[in-house]
Structure 1
């Protein structure tokens, strides 16, 4: 039996912006504005921050001519923008259908989700959660699936035919799904060290969360088991921001990592730590 972790992250943890490199900043900004409905919050030189008026969701840094990171490397599988309501999702789906882009979909029982890639191959999920009262649990494991969405029912939501006006301010980074190289080492880090709960296990994948959410991180080895880091000249994940309620929570995590002998670095953005696959997490105070 696996021991219960002695350290646990605060249950009010939130996810912040994902940091990505892209090959053509102007092209990427246009994509995220026009397809996702994001707003440019700041643009300086080869870097742009995008999101909603309420919060950043992405930081893009240009590496001119960068090729997509190989799928065999650890890094981003997809980031997931969580919309406030089902009708918000329906409006976005109507809008996205008009772009001609190829979009996948899945009813995960806890959520309804649509999938696409940006021009550099970065994976994107746009989704809405079902009410928590409708989630089904088997002890500590949440039931999830990949069933077809009732698209006709989605598009028939009252108000779904109103024009999409961009991502609503209530949009947040719902979860981030990462490619990792070793599932056992990944579980030891996210569960054993950081104290996330493993809420679902699929072949080659773990889903972890705090506070009873269906997952804050997906972690899979489907293409990346034993993989090497992506070359620096590729379009790749640079890091994921993770919000804790206070600076004291960040300090508590820093002391826990120090006592465990796990390297971390204090930066202007917060506390940097890398998982066993090299994926960078940046913990900061969200308040």
Structure 2
């Protein structure tokens, strides 16, 4: 399947293409009912390190960077599969070698996989956490190898040879490697038109690739930092309060000019962000919370 859309491409190297983008993913917050079991999964399976606890929230990540916060609410309602919210959190590994090491780790420890795909621009393995939140573990191919047609990065869905991947690695999995990060977040939305208006027109993402039931949103020449689909959630309304699952996605902005431009577009559309001190908060059409933080980062580091 080749997806089409419209994207003005930059040409950063593979090393800085994620870190140099005007908008990148920071951390993701999930509401969970069983904190002990879920946090153990993200430590033992995904390889994140506990960073600290704040109230009812446990923070996990790497090298002091919070990539995931688990907010404990044992009374939270189960998140229906047809609702708007999270499709998957995608953890980006630095290399194919690292992905092969993780696949061996999954085989060795009996981790149940939901699927695996060769997306042309990346190779990815899919699974779910104990509360049903989707997870992707992936590694990009070098951006110089990505095929572009009329400035559109060509993505696809094909089989991934896990045996070859596991045989080819020279590494042993010892937890999330240095440079690991959240590469993108894929959402379930109620309709694509509203998602395109919000994430494209208001937040300023380019629609890199699109089909009637899915759009991929990109900045800085990356294939996508966000995506939205209606595969299970067509017609979904706003997320209810007190529901388990996705609570917040943090968007890190490269500079104050990017933040100011987004703020102006939101304010002009009568959707001004909420000032919460260190960040601004906004809500998409399905009440999915996004925090905007101006957080410059040195190029070449994720």
Fold-level similarity (TM above 0.5) = yes
Cα 1:269–1:79 change in 2 (3 A) is farther
Shift of the alpha carbon at 1:81? 0.5
The answer (yes or no) to whether the contact 2:206–2:219 under 8 Å persists in 1 is yes
Distance verdict in 2 for CA 1:136–1:54, change over 3 Å? farther
RMSD across aligned C-alpha pairs, in angstroms?
Answer: 2.1
Mapped to 1, the partners of 2:255 and 2:42 lie a distance apart of 31
Distance 1:269 1:37, change over 3 A: same
Deviation (angstroms), 1:127: 0.3
2:158 aligned residue: 147
Task: Choose which of 86, 90, 97 in structure 2 pairs with 1:76.
Answer: 86
| Whole-Å separation in 2 of the counterparts to 1:257 and 1:275 | 11
How far does the alpha carbon of each residue in 1:212-269 deviate from its partner, in whole angstroms, 9 at most, with x for none? 1111111101111111234333312111000012345323422332123223211134
1:13 corresponds to which residue?
23
Offset from partner CA, 1:32-90 (integer Å, 9 cap, x none)? 11111110000244210001114211011011143531111110100100000111111
Q: 1:60 — aligned with what?
A: 70
Contact kept? 1:176, 1:218, Cα under 8 Å: yes
Contact 1:22 1:61 in 2 (8 A): yes
Counterpart in the other structure of 2:49: 39
Structure 1 stretches lacking a partner, 5+ long = none
Asked if the contact 1:68–1:121 (Cα under 8 Å) also holds between the matched residues in 2, the reply is: no
Flag the 1:4–1:136 CA change in 2: closer, same or farther, 3 A: closer
Q: Is the 8 A contact 2:6 2:208 kept in 1?
A: no
- Work out whether residues 25 and 47 of structure 1, in 8 Å CA contact, stay in contact via their aligned partners in 2: no
Please, what TM-score do these two structures have when normalized by structure 1?
A: 0.91
The match for 2:271 among 258, 262, 265 is: 262
Does structure 1 residue 114 correspond to structure 2 residue 150? no
Query: Cα deviation per residue 1:87-121 (whole Å; 9 max; x = unaligned)?
Result: 11111111112232321111100000011111111
Structure 1 83/11 Cα, relative in aligned 2: closer, same or farther at 3 Å?
closer
* SS of structure 2 residue aligned to 1:186: helix
Q: Deviations over 1:187-232 (max 9, x none)?
A: 1111122221111113400011011111111110111111123433
Specify whether residues 3 and 223 from structure 1 end up closer, same or farther in structure 2 by C-alpha distance, changes over 3 A only.
closer
Measured in 1, the distance between the counterparts of 2:126 and 2:207 equals 24
Q: Quick one: which of 217, 230, 233 aligns to 1:224?
A: 233
Instruction: Work out the number of aligned pairs and report it.
Output: 280
Provide structure 2 residue ranges, at least 5 long, that are not aligned to the other structure: 9-19, 297-302
Give the direction of change, closer, same or farther, for the CA distance of 1:44–1:266 in structure 2 (3 Å limit). closer
Match of 1:167 in 2: 176
Deviation at 1:284, TM superposition (A): 0.2
Residues 226-245 of structure 1: matches in 2 within 5 Å?
226-245=235-254
